Structure 1
Amino acid sequence: MPKQPVTYVGMLWLLAASVVVMLPFALHLPLWLIPVVLFAAGWRLWVLAGGASQPQTWVKAVLAATGIGGLWLSGLQFPSLEAMSALLLLGFAFKSLEAIQRRDALVVIFSGYFLVALHFLYAQTLLAGGYGVFSLVVLTGALIGTQQSVAEFSTWQQVRFNLRLAGTMLLLCLPLMLVLFVFAPRLAPLWSLPTLSNQAKTGVSDQMTPGDIAQLSQSSELAFRVTFKGERPEQKQLYWRGLVLNHFDGQAWKQFSQTYDPLQINDVVRKEFALHSDQVQQQGTAVAYDVVYEKTGQPWLFTLTPALSLGGADVLQAADYRVMATQPLQAPLLLSAVSYPQSARDLNLVPWLRDLALQLPDSGDTRSRELAQRWRATAANEQAYIDKVLAHFREQQFHYTLRPPLLGEKDTIDAFLFDAQRGFCAHYAGSFVFLMRAAGIPARVVVGYQGGEWNTKGSYLSVHQYDAHAWTEVWQAGKGWVQIDPTAVIAPERVEQGLAAAVQAEGSFLENEHFSLRNVTWLNGVRGQWDALQYGWQRWVLGYDGATQLALLQQLLGEISWWRVGAFVGFLMLAITLGWGLLLGLARRKVHEAREHQLYRLFCSALAKRGTVRATGQTPGDFAQQAANAFPAQAAVIAEFTRVYETLCYAPQVDAGAYRQLQHLLRQLRF
């Protein structure tokens, strides 16, 4: 097979494709990989221009060793997805140094196709999808460009032609892609690599110290979106439960006295802490909804309490009514749930749960302990004591703020209740539970989110990190766990209107996000529409799992069977094939006419209008002589046009200037 070198223009296409494919990885991998790509492609162009020689084997070996050493020094863990991706990108960059022949260029381009797919492991947003399509168009344009031996048009015309052809090819593939997406079985991955993103956790943490949630509430990052299948509950009823914090060590509230990683907690829930159906007495109206959770690197799922029906994902339910995924969320997750918020829970509290809900440190916060014991001794019953504590929050000089003062490292409950009296939800929830336990009343801290922003464009609720919230549950005989939110006593607008309304006076809402679109009122409509598009992408594309596929097939075909699905897919494939046949002109094949032949046909037509007709089989040279005899004044133009045309026909290794020369000579014909 003869060698087919890549042209200079083909190398420009490779450079453009390499940069386009590499660019989004700069957000996730070492930035120095981008200059490496530019250096490798620039060297290749320099070689083609005659300014440098092809790198020798030892030079390429040194470059490869240096690149691998750079990856090692970048702190990437081996093996991991990030390390494997960076290694592939490095090979992608260095391969362009060897891209002399077309087969080398094909290796680079096909590696680029794989890298486009690889990036979706890092980002799966609508923007990432759009950029992926753009990358495919550029790569396909590069595939076309590297197969061209001569430019038939000007550079800009060639770029437009290649991109238009690439876009057309991908559009023709779109129906087949849709059929495969909708009907191909949704299989679990056969293997996986550990990722560093497992360490990058966002959202509500598994422990709470004063000020933690206040810091989280300065972020406008999306946590999850909710679509209600019936009437939407009132804003003040939207308490999205995530975690229950039972253990207090004097500073922080934690799930348990010892620290577990997420997988260990899953084992604890399965073996010792699972929810049993007899713990709940179902009451009230059901709230059915679908939730799409964002990637957080944590397993916590947020639902209305208690969620008695869960579908669409493999989850666990704990005895404290939390819902957890079996793996940390490394991709958006769709969950369908039905909750009964008015149900009674744990009317008979088991001893080990009671012990968890009464735990306090052996010492510390003496003033708060003495206050709780004094009030409990004078209260007629537990409810009277609870009312007295809430009245204390309401009547004293307590303030709700995102700028709480520091409480020190010891006696933080005392410092808040008696000295600072300024805090966020975590301060009020933690101190309230402390006062309950100090009086012998089982209580616990619940963390999650409260409220959300209703999107009128898409009719769904968006819950952001600034909606993070902490509240409490108190166990009462005959009632079970009763939800009490001390923050609602201090700042009722927080649960009725949202965080922005609660801290409007102090101006602390998202004060660190100076360029947030939320601060531009006239853009809120655009932001809502874009968010609705993002949600549609997540729910119907990223959330298209086996359960959704089964529901769609049942809607389309009724009874599901292999022959029904096969026949329907076969019909669609036949329709696609016929459509391709019509679009590609297989019934009436249109032969592509080269640019030089198009111009020569116009040349002959112009002469024919003046009475000089080219005979069938007459050579261009003979016809030029005939035309020159008929039009002596145009003899030089006719001869030059014919010479350039014959050069393009029999010696095609010329640049695009020859085509422009033909066009110029054609315009010079004057009769």
Structure 2
Amino acid sequence: MQKQITYTGMIWLFAAQFIVILPFLFHLPLWLLPVLLFAAAWRLRVLSGAAMQPGNMTKVALIGLGIAGLLLSGLRFPSLDAMATLLLLGFAFKSLEVTQRRDAIVVIFIGYFLVALHFLYTQALGAALYATLSMVILTGALVGVQQTITEFSTGQQVRFNLRLSVFMLLQCLPLMLVIFVFAPRFAPLWSLPLAPTQAKSGVSDRMAPGDIEKLAKSGDLAFRVTFKGKRPAQHELYWQGLVLNHFDGREWRQFEQDYDTYQLKSVLLNHYRWNPDAIHVQGEAVPYEAIYETSGQPWLFTLAPTLEVTGDVLRGADYRVMAQQALQAPFLLKAVSYPDAQRDAVLPDTLRSLAVTLPPSGDTRSRALAQRLWRETGNPQAYIDAVLARFREQPFAYTLNPPGLGESDTVDTFLFDSQRGFCAHYAGSFVFLIRAAGIPARVVVGYQGGEWNDAGQYLAVHQYDAHAWAEVWQAGRGWVRIDPTNAVAPSRTEQGLEAAVQAEGTFLADSIFSLRKIAWLNGIRQQVDTVQYGWRRWVVGYDRAEQAALLKSLLGTFSIGRTALLVAGLFAVIGLFWLLTLGMTQRQAQEAPEQRLYRRFCEALAKRGIVREPGDAPGVFAAQAAAHLPALANVIQEFTQVYEGVCYAPTADGQAATRRLKTLLAKLR
């Protein structure tokens, strides 16, 4: 028969449920918390006798309401959010029927699973610390639901449970470390799609007026970079993501047809394959490693062109580097780039056709401007200089709050009317004018610059560093990077976005990045970010390649036999540690002879149906036994008297008393 859970045990259980559900509320419907509080309040009222246990019909009705709420929340099926919400709903409702310890243990075990599930949403260091707290509370609840009424006060019991919980988890720590370091790193066997609102972030595969400036208002991290040698100058840090070739009059896209990730991989492999022979290496190599944050997109941002790269990536003829799958977890990339290398000295026809195409109509004023400037200059370089000079000399402004351009003739509206825009406006209109003169050009999107962290010696690139620029193909030089934004706001590439829009005062005014103006607060922020980077690099980024490198450094030549021997030795050490910490190697205290004989005396009487209660004194128990066994009353009374004498009034001849107890015990038997 299962033991009933106590009121205190139920409080522990609800505390554990609350701690587990709380972080999910940043990603899932907020109504899950009221559901938990409702279930907890009902169960506590049942335990106090103020309410009735919910019947089957009530449970069915509550489940129906929960599923209805799930359907009305607009979550896509199947998706991670929908499955997690359904599990959390059952986790909350389960407390309605918790009456026995077995039910409470089931809820706690589900809680352990949910702690692990939250890492599918975020693997930040803060999430790991919170998960540790959740494990402590869950384990404390596991102890609490096993307890009956004790003589401890509530405060003493809470401290005892928490101490025991922490002690138990610390004992598991060595085993956890061994499993983390040596367990094979397998790719996931299956995956669920993320919700549309969470699936994609950062630079997109299309660019319309207003898109990139939205990113510029976000302080979220995009990726971090550690350079293995000399760090390039700030104005040289152009992190290319992807190339946009097709313009429909308002929006720039990669190709005329939209492709999903799988189709795009096929297009790059079959039509725009990476060709290392098209690169003439010159200039210094820039080796580095980058850790990209979860974005839900496959784009990886590198210093083009990248000649050497490690990781599960795909490269294209436009010098992009992209992951094989959308990034649903932090991604580590090691690369060597040659930013000064010459690319495509001979331009393939497929790339040329992409780089000269314009819509058949629209933006007539811009086309007329291009024709006039071409007549005045007569050669590509002079024409490019004339277009850039127009940006410098006309009253163009660089702003995070540009006016709208409408749905048609957007280039005309920007160049002749508003003349206020962000990098996307300048890059898009520049490429339009270059193509209008018949010169191959394309838009490149990615990030420019980054914030150098002196504490951690790495570059942190944030969403507000998102940028768009142009590449123009020139005979004998190949693709040449030209950033038309520099003609209007040169401080953008030299000092960053904050300096470029300083006059507006619009740079992340309400963000934590505004603290950079206070030196000591900025130092604390960078120190915290350094710790986060270490967590990303050495814990979250610990993959098969890192594991293989570690094993090679430990074992010299990697082999399964050596690895198995090392792991077996570590398990032996952990086993010895457990033996010592649990006290399993300590010898039990020897039982005194008179205590051993009295225990056997009680066992002999128990066989005759006379059981001693824990609180019965020897004299009281002897009187009860003598009343039930009058034929043995003298033996029972004498045994008790001798035993009490040995315990409370010992004499010099203790051995004689022990022999007498043995004789009396034999008579009793």
With normalisation by structure 2, the TM-score equals 0.86
In structure 1, distance between residues paired with 2:369 and 2:525: 49
The equivalences for 1:119-518 within 5 A come to 119-197=118-196, 200-312=199-311, 314-511=312-509, 513=511, 517-518=515-516
| Cα displacement (A) at 1:94 | 1.7
Q: Deviations over 1:48-103 (max 9, x none)?
A: 11112222222222222222222122222332222221111121112212211111
* SS in structure 2 at match of 1:397: coil
* SS in structure 2 at match of 1:357: helix
Q: Deviations over 1:425-456 (max 9, x none)?
A: 11111111111111111001101000000011
In structure 1, distance between residues paired with 2:499 and 2:588: 67
* SS in structure 1 at match of 2:138: helix
| Cα displacement (A) at 1:620 | 5.5
Aligned to 2:634: none
Structure 1 unaligned spans of 5+: 592-616, 624-671
In structure 2, distance between residues paired with 1:105 and 1:589: 36
| Cα displacement (A) at 1:175 | 0.8
Q: Deviations over 1:334-363 (max 9, x none)?
A: 111111111111111111211110011112
Contact 1:332/1:542 (<8 A) preserved: yes
Contact 1:442/1:474 (<8 A) preserved: yes
Structure 2 residue 551 is matched with structure 1 residue 553: yes
| Cα displacement (A) at 1:477 | 0.8
In structure 2, distance between residues paired with 1:509 and 1:139: 43
Q: Deviations over 1:442-481 (max 9, x none)?
A: 0011010000000111111000111011111000111110
Aligned to 1:608: none
| Cα displacement (A) at 1:618 | 13
Q: Deviations over 1:579-631 (max 9, x none)?
A: 2222222222689xxxxxxxxxxxxxxxxxxxxxxxxx9975879xxxxxxxx
> Structure 1 residues 618, 261: CA separation in 2 closer, same or farther (over 3 Å shift)?
closer
Between Structure 1 and Structure 2, how many residues are aligned? 596
With normalisation by structure 1, the TM-score equals 0.86
Aligned to 2:99: 100
In structure 2, distance between residues paired with 1:560 and 1:136: 35
| Cα displacement (A) at 1:364 | 1.7
* SS in structure 2 at match of 1:454: strand
| Cα displacement (A) at 1:513 | 3.8
> Structure 1 residues 450, 515: CA separation in 2 closer, same or farther (over 3 Å shift)?
closer
> Structure 1 residues 453, 351: CA separation in 2 closer, same or farther (over 3 Å shift)?
same
Q: Deviations over 1:548-580 (max 9, x none)?
A: 100111111110001111111111111122222
> Structure 1 residues 390, 289: CA separation in 2 closer, same or farther (over 3 Å shift)?
same
In structure 2, distance between residues paired with 1:155 and 1:241: 60
* SS in structure 2 at match of 1:447: strand
State the one-letter code of the partner of 1:427: H
In structure 1, distance between residues paired with 2:398 and 2:82: 46
In structure 1, distance between residues paired with 2:198 and 2:13: 35
Contact 2:291/2:537 (<8 A) preserved: yes
State the one-letter code of the partner of 2:560: W
In structure 2, distance between residues paired with 1:215 and 1:48: 53
Contact 1:518/1:524 (<8 A) preserved: yes
Contact 1:198/1:297 (<8 A) preserved: no
| Cα displacement (A) at 1:517 | 4.1
State the one-letter code of the partner of 1:46: R
| Cα displacement (A) at 1:34 | 1.3
Contact 1:275/1:317 (<8 A) preserved: yes
In structure 2, distance between residues paired with 1:22 and 1:562: 41
Aligned to 2:599: none
In structure 1, distance between residues paired with 2:415 and 2:132: 57
In structure 2, distance between residues paired with 1:82 and 1:70: 13
* SS in structure 1 at match of 2:223: strand
In structure 1, distance between residues paired with 2:377 and 2:549: 57
Aligned to 1:668: none
Q: Deviations over 1:126-165 (max 9, x none)?
A: 1111110100000000000011112231101100110111
Q: Deviations over 1:344-395 (max 9, x none)?
A: 1111111121111001111222222122122222325211221222222223
> Structure 1 residues 185, 437: CA separation in 2 closer, same or farther (over 3 Å shift)?
same
Contact 2:2/2:102 (<8 A) preserved: no
In structure 1, distance between residues paired with 2:14 and 2:365: 71
In structure 1, distance between residues paired with 2:425 and 2:507: 18
* SS in structure 1 at match of 2:492: helix
Aligned to 1:611: none
In structure 1, distance between residues paired with 2:587 and 2:432: 83
Larger Rg: 2
Structure 2 residue 520 is matched with structure 1 residue 531: no
| Cα displacement (A) at 1:104 | 0.8
Contact 1:245/1:446 (<8 A) preserved: yes
Q: Deviations over 1:294-325 (max 9, x none)?
A: 1111111110001111113x111111111111
| Cα displacement (A) at 1:413 | 1.7
In structure 2, distance between residues paired with 1:294 and 1:467: 14
> Structure 1 residues 562, 515: CA separation in 2 closer, same or farther (over 3 Å shift)?
closer
State the one-letter code of the partner of 1:555: S
Aligned to 1:563: 561
Structure 2 unaligned spans of 5+: 590-613, 621-669
Aligned to 2:604: none
Contact 1:198/1:328 (<8 A) preserved: no
| Cα displacement (A) at 1:263 | 2.6
| Cα displacement (A) at 1:172 | 0.9
Aligned to 1:650: none
State the one-letter code of the partner of 2:352: R
Moved more, 575-584 or 213-222: 575-584
Taking only aligned residues, the RMSD between alpha carbons, in angstroms, comes to 2.0
In structure 1, distance between residues paired with 2:616 and 2:407: 98
Moved more, 80-89 or 343-352: 80-89
> Structure 1 residues 198, 501: CA separation in 2 closer, same or farther (over 3 Å shift)?
closer
> Structure 1 residues 288, 397: CA separation in 2 closer, same or farther (over 3 Å shift)?
same
Contact 2:371/2:436 (<8 A) preserved: yes
Contact 1:244/1:444 (<8 A) preserved: yes
Q: Deviations over 1:236-264 (max 9, x none)?
A: 10000011111111111111112222332
* SS in structure 2 at match of 1:508: coil
In structure 2, distance between residues paired with 1:100 and 1:74: 31
The equivalences for 1:21-32 within 5 A come to 21-32=20-31
Contact 1:448/1:470 (<8 A) preserved: yes
Contact 1:221/1:465 (<8 A) preserved: yes
> Structure 1 residues 194, 412: CA separation in 2 closer, same or farther (over 3 Å shift)?
closer
Q: 2:578 aligns with which of 577, 580, 595?
A: 580
Contact 2:219/2:513 (<8 A) preserved: no
State the one-letter code of the partner of 1:396: Q
In structure 2, distance between residues paired with 1:69 and 1:552: 50
In structure 2, distance between residues paired with 1:589 and 1:451: 66
Contact 1:291/1:336 (<8 A) preserved: yes
Moved more, 150-159 or 402-411: 402-411
What is the aligned-residue identity percentage? 64
In structure 2, distance between residues paired with 1:141 and 1:199: 34
* SS in structure 1 at match of 2:307: strand
> Structure 1 residues 237, 149: CA separation in 2 closer, same or farther (over 3 Å shift)?
same
In structure 1, distance between residues paired with 2:406 and 2:34: 48
